[in-house]
Amino acid sequence: MPRPVFLPVYRRLLQALGPSHWWPAESPLEVMIGAILTQNTSWKNVERALSALREATDLVPERILSLDQDVLAACIRSSGYYNQKAHRLSLFLRWFSQFDFDPKRLGRHHPVGGLRSELLSLKGIGPETADSILCYALGLPYFVVDAYTFRLVDRLSLGAYPGYEHLRAAVESEFRHEFSGDRLVTQHLNEFHALIVRHGNTVCRKRSPSCGECSLRSRCRSRNGL
DNA sequence: GCCCAGGTGGGTA
DNA sequence: TACCCACATGGG
């Protein structure tokens, strides 16, 4: 096993920011819906959309599916790309209905790795959305790579990872080696992604020559945070 | 007015 | 494989 590069960053972020208790949602289904709505969109706008959708349907999946497409789109308008996302959300929920909207049943049904492939086969579910669902809704050991993660790897010169899957595999491999058991690995992968997002969109958002708040200060400089 | 935000899919060379 | 573009709102 080569020298770890992500674990030191993880520990510094955790020490600087404290635990995250992610994902910000009340149920696995809400995590799944939020994961679709937050595609290329700020979380603030997603919260508005979730509130409107909750108002209209109580986030009961059958009720969401019973809405007309244009009504659903109107509910989630604030999250942007509302026509596209209304369609994606319907496709996803229709697929999820075969498991009676039961996350546990969904987790049990598939062999290792099979569930991820099946999620990726759904229109509108790409790698980041799939891994968000796997990690934060289902509690499975997958690391979520996002724009912040690529930026962090770049700013801190953590190495060359050509593409999403390479970076995900590298982080997961390091964490699997460090922590034992899926439960613990999941917990730390969950926390690492959460810390990266929190660091990216709060602490280091401002255009400053260094980040005085976190332990990445010496290298933490960029157009946009990290 | 301009840039960006916890992406994804489709088209073209 | 590597780019390009559409999709769209709301905040700084």
Q: What is the pLDDT of residues A63-114, one digit of tens each?
A: 999 999 999 999 999 999 999 999 999 999 999 999 999 999 998 888 888 9
DSSP code, position A143: P
CB within 7 A of nucleic chain B: A 22-24, 34-35, 38-43, 45, 80-81, 84, 122-130, 132, 136, 146-148, 197, 200-201, 223-225
Sign (positive/negative) of CA torsion A115, A117, A121, A124?
positive
Cα–Cα distances in angstroms (integers) from residue A182 to residues A106, A135, A148, A178, A187, in the given order: 17, 11, 25, 12, 8
Which nucleotides of strand C lie within 7 A of protein CB?
A: 2, 7-11
pLDDT reading at A221 higher than 50: no
Report how far residue A125's alpha carbon sits from residue A119's, in angstroms, rounded to the nearest whole number.
Answer: 6
pLDDT reading at A213 higher than 80: no
